[in-house]
């Protein structure tokens, strides 16, 4: 089964997006790099984001016009796009209706993610193979062709020229505040970011996203997509920038952090602790450190600091308090955080914290709003949509055990949920278990005709992309097992799926023509 293991590495999705801090994936802008200062930090307006928002305008997305008071040309453009007619616009509107979500923020999030993994207009070509795309982009991957056609029909190249001065003024609103955030954060941590590290932090300004900030981490590229509400979301940008500065340290010192893991069992009891942190202690520690640094940078009064620390404890972020105490010692020391970090972690006394937290009262899930300072994403309950999202993120991070736990919770409630079944198939791939992967891909196909399956994006009740790709991957597994007849049957079944994405159809057509041969993982390719 060595060939299957090679396929597993190539097949597994290795990118993720989400609104929550701490996720990791891959991103490249695919356009001429803007001028950046030596830190690799910039404030920009992206044409990919602009074109995507124009498409959403034409499709009827409820964009936030309240931020366009100083942008009459962009407001007029939005009105024009809503009235547009034409074959590409009609196809766009049909696609949007078929893939819309009830939650406005979730709909916007997926399209913003899309805009950050495609190249520049007019083609908007994906910058990565399909297996490397974020899971939420896979649900709308055919939007790439839709957007390219719409961009031409709407004449967005010329439209961009008309509104670019307004975007430049909107972008300029962030210049001084971002410089201030960078200055005070670097000074506090005594860190200097060098371009040789290949790490970049970009604030993408798109007024029509309103107050729905979107934070993405793709490998060494950090992006925040923001609107221009009043006041500007500077706390969120600072939080994201602290991730940019501090994220490498918990990974570098994972072993030291794991010695404090006993505290996670206490934090995980907090109803408001987001799923991202409930079984990932390194990620949890990273988030607590960022919150602690943000509190120290803000120079709160003792009373204000204590009130915020109490809220952090009640929300489950129980390491913020001891980390604040350690940061007070760091402030009197000489080394930068890069060198002081091991001492910071060593200073957390597990026994002392366990004793302190014996009588802690966690806030309920429906309690008062989350603390002002912290992650972009509100606390959430363990409902199926968020469990599915968490499982897909864990797959992207190649953490099959965590992903499996999330999908199993969904299947315990909804045994035929297609996304959960598909997710279990992917975790089996990551576990190098071909037989179990086949069983779950087959169950996705069976669930496509089940009336018990969860609501999905099309009239048939199941996303046809899941069904089509299940057939394709079954075909590939059969090819790797030298069962060519069964493989061809699966590829042909994929071609017969109504509404299958073009990418799945192309893969199935290739499978019919010749047996699947996995490419070598990148680490094995000749240099």
Is the residue at 186 inside a domain? no
Confidence band for 19, pLDDT divided at 50, 70 and 90: very low
Count of beta carbons in the 10 Å neighbourhood of residue 455: 8
506 in the same domain as 395 = yes
pLDDT at 94: 93
φ, ψ dihedrals at 290, nearest 5°: -65, -40
Does 369 map to a domain? no
What is the per-residue pLDDT for 300?
Answer: 87
Token duo for residue 372: 């002002």
State what percent of residues in the chain have pLDDT above 70: 82
Q: Residue-wise over 479-489: b if at least 16 C-beta within 10 A, else e?
A: bbbeeeeebbe
Confidence of residue 294 (pLDDT cuts 50, 70, 90): very high
Secondary structure, 3-state, 136-189 = HHHCCCCHHHHHHHHHHHCCHHHHHHHHHHHHHHHHHCCHHHHHHHHHHHHHHH
Note whether 329 and 439 are same-domain residues. no
Whether residue 72 sits in one domain with residue 210: yes
Of the chain, the end-to-end C-alpha distance in Å amounts to 26
Are 211 and 76 in the same domain?
Answer: yes
Q: Which residue has the higher pLDDT, 147 or 387?
A: 147
| 211 and 75 together in one domain | yes
Reported as a single tens digit per residue, the pLDDT across 314-341 is 999 999 999 999 999 999 988 899 899 9
Which neighbouring-strand residues pair with 204?
A: 44, 225
Task: Decide if 238 is inside a domain.
Answer: no
The whole-number average pLDDT for the span 52-67 is 86
As a whole number, mean pLDDT of residues 364-376 equals 46
Label residue 15 by pLDDT band (50, 70, 90).
very low
- 399 and 497 inside one domain: yes
**CA dist., res. 501 & res. 99, Å (int):** 12
pLDDT of residue 139: 82
Please indicate, yes or no, whether residues 258 and 326 belong to a single structural domain of this protein: yes
Give the pLDDT score at 136: 78
In angstroms, the Cα distances linking 179 to 176, 185, 186, 246 are 5, 10, 11, 18
Q: Write down the pLDDT at residue 197.
A: 60
For residue 526, CA distances in Å to 3, 118, 372, 523 come to 18, 26, 50, 8
Verify that 80 and 130 share a domain, yes or no: yes
Give pLDDT, residue 182: 92
pLDDT of residue 375: 37
Spatial distance between the Cα atoms of 439 and 470, rounded to a whole number of angstroms: 10
Contact residues for 161 (Cβ-Cβ < 8 A; gap 6+):
none
Query: How many CA atoms, within 13 angstroms, populate the side-chain half-sphere of residue 331?
Result: 13
Q: Are residues 287 and 337 in the same domain?
A: yes
Assess whether pLDDT exceeds 50 at residue 526: no
Q: How many domains does the chain have?
A: 3
User: In terms of domains, do 160 and 101 share one?
Assistant: yes
Per the domain annotation, does 150 fall within a domain?
yes
Whether 449 has a pLDDT exceeding 70, the answer reads: no
Q: Is 390 found in the same domain as 340? A: no
Q: By the 8 A CB rule, do 420 and 410 touch?
A: yes
By residue range, what is the domain housing residue 73? 41-171+200-215
Query: Looking at residue 371, what is its pLDDT?
Result: 38
Question: Are residue 60 and residue 205 in the same domain, yes or no?
Answer: yes
pLDDT tens per residue across span 214-231: 888 877 788 999 998 888
pLDDT digits (tens, 9 = 90+) for 412-442: 777 778 888 898 998 888 888 888 889 889 8
Whether 221 is covered by a domain: the verdict is no
- Compute the Cα dihedral for 316, 318, 319, 323 and give only its sign: positive
Question: Where residue 455 sits, what CATH number does that domain have?
Answer: 1.25.40.10
Mean of pLDDT values over 368-393: 53
Span 244-272, pLDDT tens digits = 999 989 989 999 999 999 999 999 999 88
* Burial class for 321, CB neighbours closer than 10 Å (0-12, 13-18, 19+): buried
Reported as a pLDDT band with limits 50, 70 and 90, residue 502 is confident
**Residue ending a domain, choose from 156, 191, 215:** 215
């Amino acid at each position: 089964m060595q060939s299957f293991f090679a396929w597993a590495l190539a097949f597994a999705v290795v990118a993720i997006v989400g609104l929550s801090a701490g996720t990791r994936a891959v991103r490249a802008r695919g356009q001429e790099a803007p001028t950046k200062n030596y830190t690799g930090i910039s404030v920009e307006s992206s044409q990919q984001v602009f074109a995507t928002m124009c498409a959403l305008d034409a499709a009827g997305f409820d964009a936030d016009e309240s931020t366009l008071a100083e942008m009459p040309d962009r407001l007029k453009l939005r009105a024009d796009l809503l009235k547009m007619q034409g074959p590409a616009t009609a196809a766009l509107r049909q696609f949007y209706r078929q893939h819309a979500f009830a939650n406005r923020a979730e709909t916007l999030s997926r399209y913003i993610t899309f805009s950050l993994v495609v190249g520049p207009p007019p083609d908007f070509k994906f910058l990565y193979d399909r297996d490397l795309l974020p899971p939420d982009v896979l649900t709308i991957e055919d939007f790439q062709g839709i957007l390219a056609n719409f961009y031409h029909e709407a004449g967005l190249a010329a439209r961009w020229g008309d509104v670019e001065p307004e975007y430049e003024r909107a972008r300029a609103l962030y210049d001084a505040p971002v410089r201030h955030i960078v200055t005070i954060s670097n000074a506090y941590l005594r860190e200097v970011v060098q371009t040789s590290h290949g790490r970049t932090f970009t604030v993408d300004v798109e007024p029509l996203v309103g107050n729905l900030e979107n934070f993405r981490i793709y490998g060494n590229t950090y992006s925040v997509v923001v609107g221009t509400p009043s006041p500007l979301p500077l706390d969120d940008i600072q939080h994201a920038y602290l991730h940019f500065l501090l994220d490498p340290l918990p990974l570098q010192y994972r072993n030291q952090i794991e010695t404090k893991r006993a505290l996670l069992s206490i934090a995980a009891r907090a109803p408001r602790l987001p799923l991202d942190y409930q079984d990932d202690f390194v990620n949890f520690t990273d988030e607590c450190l960022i919150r602690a640094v943000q509190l120290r940078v803000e120079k709160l009064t003792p009373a204000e600091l204590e009130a915020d620390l109490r809220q952090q404890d009640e929300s489950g972020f129980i390491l913020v308090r001891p980390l604040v105490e350690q940061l007070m010692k760091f402030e009197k020391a000489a080394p930068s955080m890069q060198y002081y970090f091991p001492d910071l972690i060593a200073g957390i006394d597990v026994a002392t914290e366990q004793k302190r937290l014996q009588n802690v009262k966690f806030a309920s899930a429906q309690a008062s709003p989350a603390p002002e300072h912290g992650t972009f994403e509100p606390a959430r309950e363990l409902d199926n949509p968020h469990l599915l999202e968490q499982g897909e993120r864990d797959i992207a991070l190649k953490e099959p055990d965590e992903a499996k736990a999330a999908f199993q919770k969904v299947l315990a409630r909804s045994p035929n949920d297609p996304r959960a079944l598909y997710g279990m198939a992917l975790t089996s791939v990551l576990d190098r278990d071909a037989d179990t992967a086949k069983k779950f891909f087959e169950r996705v196909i069976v669930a496509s005709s089940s009336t018990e399956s969860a609501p999905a994006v099309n009239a048939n009740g199941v996303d046809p992309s899941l069904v089509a790709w299940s057939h394709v991957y079954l075909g590939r597994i059969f090819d790797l097992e030298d069962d060519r007849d069964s493989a061809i049957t699966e590829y042909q079944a994929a071609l017969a799926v109504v509404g299958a994405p073009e990418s799945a159809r192309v893969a199935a057509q290739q499978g019919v023509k010749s047996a699947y041969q996995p490419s070598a993982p990148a680490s094995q390719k000749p240099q």
